[in-house]
Amino acid sequence: MKEDRTIFDDQICQALAGHTSAPSPALRDALMARVAASHPAEQQKWLNHKKLWLSAAAFLLISVSLYFLLSFNQSSGPEPTVPESKALVQAEENSPLENNTTSGDLTQEEPNHDISENTDTQPLDRNQSISRDKTVESGSVTATGKEKKTADNLASNQTEVLSVAGNENLPTNGFSPDAKTTYRSGYKIGKMQAKEQNINNLSHSTTNEIKTRNVSSPVKVRFRPDETPAPAHFSKHSGPITLGAHYTPEIMFNVLDNDNKFVHNTGIELLYNYHDFSIRTGVSLGFATGSSSMAVDYKPYKGSFQHLDSLEFVYDMQSEQLVAVYHTSERKVYDSVAKQLTTKIDKQYTYLQIPLIFGYNFYEAGRFAMSVHAGPTLSMLLSTKEDSNYDPGNNLIINTSTVSPDRIKTNWQFSAGIGFGYSFTPRLRLEMEPRVKYYFNSVYEKAATTRKPWSFELRTGLLYTF
Amino acid sequence: MAQDENLIKRCIKGQPEALGQLYDRYAPVLLSVCLRYIPIRAEAEDILQECFIRIFEKIGEFKLRPEASFEGWMKRIVVNKALNFLRDKNRNRLFIDTPDPGLLADVTDEDSDRGFPNITADEIHGMIQNLPDGYRTVFNLFVVENYGHKEIASMLGCTENTSKTQLLKARNMLKKRILELQNMKERV
């Protein structure tokens, strides 16, 4: 109970309890019409949000699926072993090959690992020994176990087996005991090529002999997961510093209805690459447009009259009498009751944006790369350009006040997205990065209209690595 | 409250008929509140309309707790809107310094202790409406809305002393008018 409170106050409260005043019926109709007009839009907005969320979810799902699909295909796909029935080299345990030991065509079951194309070839050496368990695994060629067979006649038949595209060749003549050659990640393992003519000759000449030999274990050829095209010169680490330019259209949600939801951002960016990680910063300009309402208090113009400022009498020599001279000025008349109208002002806001985005490259295959990015961005309002078509005419403007709030001067955002990169050359690449952005603080100045928008944007950047 | 709860839930879902029901149930009470601050009916109705739009927008934020008063929440919205309107309209002219020294002389409670049985709520409401803007606003906030002088000073951007003075003058002016009306009715 407040000390200033009196019995009189309580009596007033008691008397006013339950007091009502019936509003005019027109008010209800007007309100319901307003609600009906705004409600579908609200619903639509909600639906739009829902659709956008679903789109974002679908996009993420597709991205993740794509990533795992590609990984799965390369890491756990069926091994391209040479089938037993088509054994290229069959070695008889503990007994040297007496003659040509290869037969059949040199083919792979997996189309991804087609070994019958694109190779530099090397002949097998006549005097090398061949293991019965020859395995090319994880980018290496190993020869283990009982490698006792010589392949004297392999060389003579000029069967060229393995090679590596790119910079390094798989030494197919290295079927010596414990021979092991490891290939760098990302390099394409070569594709076996058997010159058909030689193979045909070979197969014709050795078929009968092979039939008489004991069948030993087949040669197993297994390729490392990422032997698909990944030339060294498209490596993402061609340099630590990357410079680029970007354009990023943005669609914002949870902003005032008068504001345009589309924002255009463009600028330059600088990346520092460290292994699979990167830090991106730069300077961008963001252009947002919107319109705000301005309340104008004015007094309507009613007309004008000639106000008598002074009266002068001049003696007229001709008529010999005093003549009155009226000095007047025009005075405007305004209504004594002030009125108010609301007019629209178009505004263009220019923001300076400084991002600090951290990235991680989680996938790379040849020219194509994928990465995730997240980080904060600082936006500062540089300028506001206003444009209004309001013409007051002869009315007297008493006061103007902005009804809609202005944009805030400084704003923090956090964005996250998935980047897709395509390298045109080892140094020049195009990146597209759909991302979601959340605004930490309201974009409006008035606390009454606190809005924390979020947005969906697509960054498109052209980057050059030094 | 259970009825309110159901109505609120339907309003949150955006059912237009629920919004209509909400209006029908609370518009008279809220308009009465509005008119206590803004005596011109057309202006008060405009503010009420804005308030209902605001209520429809923010109804999802109202917490359905047993102790929470939905009507109180809506009244606060109305009071805040009305105050904003008065602030914009009057622009530093809200408080008047009435030269009538008699208003500062406190009318004794003895005169009003017996209450005012002959005076209707409408008449009291009308007399409050006829108070000057500053008196009326402080009186409403202090007496009806039960705010303290410190809060009123912060809401209206004035000093606590101004709030106290305005309240005193408002109270005395109202008492006088009530007594006059009461005497007149008794004479009749």
Q: What is the CATH number of the domain that holds A367?
A: 2.40.160.20
Task: Decide if A16 is inside a domain.
Answer: no
The closest of A264, A289, A408, A402 to A349, measured between CA atoms, is A289
Pairing label, strands A129-130, A149-150: antiparallel
Mutation to test the B interface, candidates A16, A254, A400, A446, most B Cβ within 10 Å: A16
The share of chain A scoring above pLDDT 90, in percent, equals 17
A171 Cβ neighbours under 8 A, 6+ residues apart: A122, A141, A179, A181
d(CA B174, CA B119): 12
Q: Helix A25-75 and helix B41-58: axis angle, to 10°?
A: 20
Q: Which residues of A touch B174 (CB under 8 A)?
A: 12
Express each pLDDT in B115-158 by its tens digit: 777 788 888 899 998 888 888 999 999 998 888 898 888 888 88
Q: Which residues of B touch A27 (CB under 8 A)?
A: 27, 45, 48-49
Q: Which residues of A touch B71 (CB under 8 A)?
A: none
Give the pLDDT score at A244.
93
* CATH of region B101-187: 1.10.10.10
What residue type is assigned to position B61 of the chain? Answer: E
Task: Decide if A55 is inside a domain.
Answer: no
Is the pLDDT score of A44 beyond 70?
no
Q: Does A69 touch chain B (CB under 8 A)?
A: no
| Closest CA of chain A from B31, distance in Å | 6
Q: Are residues A183 and A85 in the same domain?
A: yes
Task: Decide if A128 is inside a domain.
Answer: yes
Given pLDDT bands bounded at 50, 70 and 90, which one contains residue A460?
Answer: very high
Tally of residues, chain A: 466
Establish how many alpha carbons lie within 13 A of residue A84's alpha carbon, considering only the half-sphere containing its beta carbon. 4
Q: Which residue has the higher pLDDT, A175 or A8?
A: A8
Strand-pairing partners, residue A438, are: A414, A454
Express each pLDDT in B69-97 by its tens digit: 888 889 989 999 998 888 887 765 666 55
Mean pLDDT of A163-171: 41
Give the pLDDT score at A311.
86
Residue A342, token pair as written in the block = 């609301």
Q: Which residues of B touch A342 (CB under 8 A)?
A: none
| Closest CA of chain A from B34, distance in Å | 10
d(CA A115, CA A193): 6
Residue A36, token pair as written in the block = 């009906």
Give the pLDDT score at A74.
56
A21 and B167: CB-CB below 8 Å? no
Q: Are residues A259 and A135 in the same domain?
A: no
Is the pLDDT score of A109 beyond 50?
no
Is the pLDDT score of B18 beyond 50?
yes
Q: By the 8 A CB rule, do A116 and A94 touch?
A: no
Express each pLDDT in A306-327 by its tens digit: 888 888 888 888 888 888 888 8
DSSP reduced 3-state for A141: strand
Is the pLDDT score of A23 beyond 80?
yes
d(CA B97, CA B168): 12
B167 and A4: CB-CB below 8 Å? yes
Q: Which residue has the higher pLDDT, A221 or A15?
A: A15
Q: Are residues A202 and A123 in the same domain?
A: yes
- List the 389-428 stretch of A: residues with Cβ below 8 A of B: 401
Task: Decide if A196 is inside a domain.
Answer: yes
The closest of A382, A377, A372 to A278, measured between CA atoms, is A372
Task: Decide if A322 is inside a domain.
Answer: no
Which helix (H) or strand (E) covers residue A63, if one does? helix A25-75
Average pLDDT, chain A: 69
Task: Decide if A350 is inside a domain.
Answer: yes
What is the domain range of residue A247?
Answer: 233-300+335-465
Q: Are residues A224 and A100 in the same domain?
A: yes
Residue A23 is nearest to which of B48, B113, B164, comparing CB atoms?
A: B48
Winning range, highest mean pLDDT, from A30-39, A46-55, A126-135, A314-323: A314-323
**Which of A245-259, A411-425, A446-460 is the least confident region?**
A446-460
Q: Are residues A223 and A258 in the same domain?
A: no
Q: Which residues of A touch B114 (CB under 8 A)?
A: none
Is the pLDDT score of A191 beyond 60?
no
Given pLDDT bands bounded at 50, 70 and 90, which one contains residue B110?
Answer: low
Q: Which residues of A touch B52 (CB under 8 A)?
A: 31
Q: Are residues A174 and A242 in the same domain?
A: no
Mean pLDDT of B6-25: 83
Q: Which long-range contacts (CB under 8 A, 24 or more apart) does A17-26 make?
A: A18/B29, A18/B121, A19/B29, A19/B32, A19/B121, A19/B122, A19/B125, A20/B28, A20/B29, A20/B31, A20/B32, A21/B28, A21/B31, A21/B32, A21/B35, A21/B125, A22/B28, A22/B31, A23/B27, A23/B28, A23/B31, A23/B45, A23/B48, A24/B45
Q: Are residues A292 and A177 in the same domain?
A: no
Q: Which residues of B touch A2 (CB under 8 A)?
A: 142, 146, 148
A12 and B16: CB-CB below 8 Å? no
Q: By the 8 A CB rule, do A19 and B32 touch?
A: yes
The share of chain A scoring above pLDDT 70, in percent, equals 56
Q: Are residues A352 and A209 in the same domain?
A: no
B48 and A42: CB-CB below 8 Å? no
Q: By the 8 A CB rule, do A454 and A439 touch?
A: yes
Q: By the 8 A CB rule, do A268 and A285 touch?
A: no
Q: Which residue has the higher pLDDT, B98 or B26?
A: B26
Pairing label, strands A368-388, A339-365: antiparallel
| Closest CA of chain A from B4, distance in Å | 17
Q: Does A1 touch chain B (CB under 8 A)?
A: no
| Closest CA of chain A from B144, distance in Å | 6
Q: Give the number of beta-carbon pairs within 8 Å between A and B.
A: 95
Task: Decide if A145 is inside a domain.
Answer: yes
Q: Which residue has the higher pLDDT, A414 or A201?
A: A414
Measured distance between the N- and C-terminal CA atoms of chain B, rounded to whole angstroms:
44
Q: Are residues A221 and A347 in the same domain?
A: no
Is the pLDDT score of A352 beyond 90?
yes
Tally of residues, chain B: 188
Q: Does A29 touch chain B (CB under 8 A)?
A: no
Query: Where does a domain end: A229, A250, A279?
Result: A229
Give the pLDDT score at A456.
93
Q: Which residue has the higher pLDDT, A134 or A240?
A: A240
Winning range, highest mean pLDDT, from A313-317, A336-340, B10-14, B23-27: B23-27
Q: Which residue has the higher pLDDT, A430 or A72?
A: A430
Number of domains observed in the structure of chain A: 2
CATH 1.10.8.50 fits B2-90, yes or no: no
Mean pLDDT of A322-347: 83
Domain boundaries, chain B: 2-90, 101-187
A11 and B52: CB-CB below 8 Å? no
d(CA A249, CA A303): 51
Give the pLDDT score at B64.
60
Give the pLDDT score at B59.
82
B112 and A8: CB-CB below 8 Å? yes
B167 and A30: CB-CB below 8 Å? no
Q: Does A8 touch chain B (CB under 8 A)?
A: yes
d(CA A465, CA A284): 19
Give the pLDDT score at A116.
42
Q: Are residues A196 and A283 in the same domain?
A: no
Q: Which residues of A touch B142 (CB under 8 A)?
A: 2, 4-5, 9
Q: Are residues A424 and A365 in the same domain?
A: yes
Express each pLDDT in B146-155 by its tens digit: 888 988 888 8
Residues A384, A405, B49, CA angle at the centre, nearest 5°?
150
Winning range, highest mean pLDDT, from A183-192, A232-241, A382-391, A410-419: A410-419
Mean pLDDT of A190-219: 48
Give the pLDDT score at A257.
66
The closest of A81, A199, A170, A211 to A134, measured between CA atoms, is A81
Q: Which residues of A touch B125 (CB under 8 A)?
A: 16, 19, 21
Q: Does A39 touch chain B (CB under 8 A)?
A: yes
A1 Cβ neighbours under 8 A, 6+ residues apart: none
Task: Decide if A109 is inside a domain.
Answer: yes
The share of chain B scoring above pLDDT 70, in percent, equals 83
Give the pLDDT score at B17.
81
Residue A30 is nearest to which of B31, B49, B149, comparing CB atoms?
A: B49
Q: Which residue has the higher pLDDT, A317 or B31?
A: B31
Give the pLDDT score at B109.
55
Q: Are residues A225 and A240 in the same domain?
A: no
